[in-house]
Structure 1
Amino acid sequence: MRRVVQFSTGNVGRHSLAAIIGRPDLELVGVHAASDNKVGRDAAELCGLSEPTGVIATDDIDALIALQPDCVVYTALGETRPMEVIEEMAKLLAAGINVVGTSMVWLVTPRQADDWLRAPLEEACAAGNASLYVNGIDPGYSSDSAVFSALSLVTRARSVTVQEIFDYGNYDDYEYTGTAMGFGNSPDDPLPIAFQLGVITSVFGGLVRNIAAQLDVELDEVRERYEPWYTPERIECKMMTVEPGGLAAVRFAAEGVRSGEPVITVEHVNRLTSAAAPDWQVPPEGQLGVHKVIVEGEPRVEVNTLLSHPVLDVTEAGCLSTAARAVNAIDWVCRAPAGLIAADDIPPTEMIRGLMW
């Protein structure tokens, strides 16, 4: 049985916390919570379970390290405070604790990550003889698992497109997702942080380059594109209210180009309710979102990943699947050689062990 600490209990963390508590092959020994209203509360209460665990949340990282866990599940928001997260992850790794997580999406393709991010974490892994693995559903599953399954079905591929097409209206995350994408902004406002020059390529370009490397394709360049959509009518949803003239949908992509044409594309189409950008691509009828892979080739292949849950809406189901991509890798990561781990390092069957109980 692996001794595990959950680090953060937000949109993804509360789902990974519940999963750890429920799995018979994992033992929850600690929980990290940064906010005062969560510190001192039982882990079960923080993830909506009724039976107390006796594990009480703390904001003391040293106390969690002293528990000597095998692994920490790190789901705290990292993209807005990368240097602080690197320091926290490195401290855990150097102490000999393996880390799986969903934060710092650049690390989904660690071999493509820049030196400022990769080097200190590699040093910490070596110092503590520990491993680090970061993944999710997108970035993650769509571009490092589903895409290769689709490609295995063709004898020749002319182009590959990986898409997230999602209605974010019910996603209660204006603080990060909403502000980063600029939902509600006017055309006169500065570009939101997610679409400033080079950011799309920084976040999603590694996914494109990783697919190209797996296909043994040499790209001429990786470029980015961004298109906003401003609503003529007021849009109300769980994330926020957008007044007329405000940004209510975005379409953006990182494109791997060869001979002037995009051959590998990682694209997002995100909107606030179906009223936004009605002429853009939409999920299958009756669905709020889809993760799609399209291979134009011999034959043409289209793979649609649709999530659902009897209680949770599709955005919450996406957070649950994101958590699964980390939690399901715990045992293998604990057995792996020290270093940064990519999804293609892990045998697929290792990600499904222990799920039926």
Structure 2
Amino acid sequence: MRRVVQFSTGNVGVHSLRAIIGRPDLELVGVHAATPAKVGRDAAELCGLGEPTGITATADINALIALRPDCVVYTALGETRPIEAIEEMSTFLRAGINVVGTSMVWLVVPRQADDWLRTPLEQACAAGGASLYVNGIDPGYSADTAVHSALSLVARARSVTVQEIFDYGNYDDYEYTGTAMGFGRTCEDDVPMAFQPGVITSLFGGLVRNLARQLDVELDDVRERYEAWYATERITCRMTTVEAGGVAAVRFAVEGVRADAPVLTVEHVNRLTPAAAPSWPYPPGGALGVHKVVVEGEPRVEVNTHLSHPTLDVTDAGCVSTAARAVNAIDWVCRAPAGLIGLEDIPPAEMIRGLMW
């Protein structure tokens, strides 16, 4: 039985919290909440469960360390506050507490992370003899588990394309995702945060470089591209309201290039309505979302991952899967040698242990 603390209860955190509470091989011992309105509330209430757990949320990190957990599930938004997030993670690691998470997506491929991020976390792991693992569905599953499976089926590969094609209209995250992607902006010269020069490569370039390393391919260059589609009429959705002339879809990618042609591509196509950007790729079969891998080779392989849930929207189902990528690794990470862990370090069977009871 692993003693676990859940750190944050946002779009992903509510689902990892539910998963921890439900699993018989995990024991929830603490919950962190940053907002005063959540502090003091029972964990079950914070994630929509009916039966109280007796575990109430706190904003006191030292109180959580005093609980002596084996692992912390860190799902707090870190990309907009990276220095603070590094310190929060490091505080647990220095105390000998392992961390699994979905935040700080650069760490999905820790060997590709820049020194400013990797070095303090490596030092914290060494000081506490603890381990840190970060993953999700995208970045994460699409460019590691799914692409590895697809590549294992070919005798020779000529190119690899990893895509997330998703309708974000029902995703309740305008504060971060909507703002970062610029949904609703009307000025073509006003480039949103996520698409400032170098940002796409910062977030997704590590996936391309990591895949090139695994394939033993030398790239000539890693480049990025971005385009926006502007609404022709007003769009109202859960994410936000977009007036005519505002951004209602974005398409962006990082490409690993050889001989001036992309051979390794990680791409997103994100809309707020199926009517947006009609010339861009759609998920197959009329679905609202897909995580797709296409390997052009001998033979051609296409892997389409569709998520669904009996009561949740497909974007919420994606948050469940993102949470699962962290929670499912808890036991192995607690047994692993100290340091930063990538998905490739974990035996595949370890990621499914304890899932059926």
The TM-score bracket by the shorter chain reads over 0.9
* Distance in 1, Cα, partners of 2:54 & 2:189: 49
* Distance in 2, Cα, partners of 1:186 & 1:341: 41
- Aligned match of 1:136: 136
* Distance in 2, Cα, partners of 1:161 & 1:285: 19
Q: Does 1:281 align with 2:274?
A: no
Identity percentage over the alignment?
82
Deviation of the 1:279 alpha carbon: 1.3
* Distance in 2, Cα, partners of 1:251 & 1:189: 17
- Aligned match of 1:317: 317
Deviation of the 1:286 alpha carbon: 3.0
Deviation of the 1:189 alpha carbon: 4.9
For 2:332, what is the secondary structure of its paired residue? helix
Encode CA deviations 1:158-204: one digit per residue, 9 max, x unaligned: 00000000000000000000000000001345210000000000000
For 2:283, what is the secondary structure of its paired residue? coil
Give the number of equivalent residue pairs: 357
- Aligned match of 1:326: 326
TM-score with structure 2 setting the length? 0.99
* Distance in 1, Cα, partners of 2:234 & 2:296: 38
* Distance in 2, Cα, partners of 1:13 & 1:149: 28
- Aligned match of 1:229: 229
Deviation of the 1:275 alpha carbon: 1.3
For 1:285, what is the secondary structure of its paired residue? helix
- Aligned match of 2:268: 268
Deviation of the 1:285 alpha carbon: 2.3
- Aligned match of 2:37: 37
Encode CA deviations 1:114-170: one digit per residue, 9 max, x unaligned: 000000000000000000000000000000110010001000100000000000000
Deviation of the 1:8 alpha carbon: 0.2
| Structure 1 residues 157 and 188: alpha-carbon distance in aligned structure 2, compared to 1, 3 A threshold | closer
- Aligned match of 1:178: 178
For 1:350, what is the secondary structure of its paired residue? helix
* Distance in 1, Cα, partners of 2:339 & 2:38: 32
- Aligned match of 1:108: 108
For 1:333, what is the secondary structure of its paired residue? helix
- Aligned match of 1:340: 340
* Distance in 1, Cα, partners of 2:262 & 2:61: 45
Correspondence list, 1:80-229, <5 A: 80-229=80-229
Encode CA deviations 1:227-286: one digit per residue, 9 max, x unaligned: 110011111111111000000000000000011110000000000010111111001223
AA at the equivalent of 1:349: A
Correspondence list, 1:242-261, <5 A: 242-261=242-261
- Aligned match of 1:61: 61
AA at the equivalent of 2:103: S
* Distance in 1, Cα, partners of 2:188 & 2:262: 30
Deviation of the 1:334 alpha carbon: 0.1
* Distance in 1, Cα, partners of 2:300 & 2:308: 26
* Distance in 2, Cα, partners of 1:156 & 1:233: 46
* Distance in 2, Cα, partners of 1:218 & 1:296: 18
AA at the equivalent of 2:64: L
- Aligned match of 1:356: 356
* Distance in 2, Cα, partners of 1:283 & 1:170: 16
For 1:37, what is the secondary structure of its paired residue? coil
Instruction: Please list every run of 5 or more consecutive structure 2 residues that lacks an aligned counterpart in the other structure.
Output: none
- Aligned match of 1:238: 238
Instruction: Please list every run of 5 or more consecutive structure 1 residues that lacks an aligned counterpart in the other structure.
Output: none
Deviation of the 1:44 alpha carbon: 0.2
Encode CA deviations 1:288-333: one digit per residue, 9 max, x unaligned: 0000000000000000000000000100000000000000000000
* Distance in 1, Cα, partners of 2:349 & 2:236: 43
* Distance in 2, Cα, partners of 1:5 & 1:130: 15
* Distance in 1, Cα, partners of 2:308 & 2:19: 17
Q: Does 1:50 align with 2:50?
A: yes
Deviation of the 1:18 alpha carbon: 0.3
* Distance in 1, Cα, partners of 2:276 & 2:111: 37
